[in-house]
Structure 1
Amino acid sequence: MVNKQGQTRLAQYYEYLNLEERRALEEQCSFVEHRNYKVVYRRYASLFFLVGVDNEENELAILEFIHLLVETMDRHFGNVCELDIMFHLEKAHFMLEEMVMNGCLVETSKSSILSPIQLMEKAS
């Protein structure tokens, strides 16, 4: 996720990329190809959500994934914004990791993604 100023706020990589390659991927925001990757983005309010995928991946499916991630964060935070992510980075990473494992989408149920977080909050 990237804010309007182009600052990365949340990033997860499933293949090794050096810092220069990561920065190049994160600064692109469109359906573009970069080396052996495609960058798919979607803007929600003041945040840009970017996903880098290989050339065989379906761009529209990635847009749906981004939308699901935003809906899940909206449900938890109530209209998610940059500050929600900055102050609750561990929860944002947790949601992402519940949805994606080793680069593969494994969970699409918002309730299943959020229930462990809600249990942790009740325990605190």
Structure 2
Amino acid sequence: MIKFVLMVNQQGQTRLSKYYEPVELSRRAALEAVAVRCCLSRSKHQSELDIMFNLDSVHIILDEMIQNGRIVETNKCRILAPLTAIDKMADG
């Protein structure tokens, strides 16, 4: 079960955090600090900078893939369908 999703920038600032179970704020800070240390030690080839500039899309994708901490969808076309619909509405 997925307990939380966390995205941080290269300076260690949290850009997105989504928890799928209740976690006390003090515990969240500790969990995020550990995750940040792991992320900041990654190579430059493991970074997905586009995510930081498209956070609305990230929220939609996560909502399509994960519900209540469980992966409910892995089909790429189904996951991206809401984004495709939004793009079509914006173009039309």
Q: TM-score w.r.t. structure 1 length?
A: 0.54
Counterpart for residue 35 of structure 2: 29
Determine if the alignment matches structure 1 residue 116 to structure 2 residue 60: no
Counterpart for residue 13 of structure 2: 7
State the one-letter code of the partner of 2:29: R
Task: Provide the secondary structure at the position in 1 that maps to 2:57.
Answer: helix
Deviation, 1:114, is 0.8
Q: TM-score w.r.t. structure 2 length?
A: 0.70
- Greater helix proportion: 2
Deviation, 1:18, is 2.5
Deviation, 1:6, is 1.5
Aligned-partner Cα distance in 2 for 1:44–1:110:
26
Aligned ranges for residues 75-114 of structure 1 at < 5 Å?
Answer: 80-81=48-49, 84-114=50-80
Larger radius of gyration: 2
Task: Provide the secondary structure at the position in 2 that maps to 1:28.
Answer: helix
State the one-letter code of the partner of 1:95: I
Quick one: higher RCO (CA 8 Å, sep 6+), 1 or 2?
Answer: 2
Provide the identity percentage: 46
Aligned-partner Cα distance in 1 for 2:46–2:71:
22
Aligned-partner Cα distance in 1 for 2:69–2:43:
23
Mapped contact 1:2–1:47 kept (Cα < 8 A): no
Aligned-partner Cα distance in 1 for 2:45–2:19:
23
Aligned residues: 81
Aligned-partner Cα distance in 2 for 1:47–1:8:
17
Task: Provide the secondary structure at the position in 2 that maps to 1:107.
Answer: coil
Mapped contact 1:107–1:113 kept (Cα < 8 A): yes
**Unaligned stretches of 5+ in structure 2?**
1-6
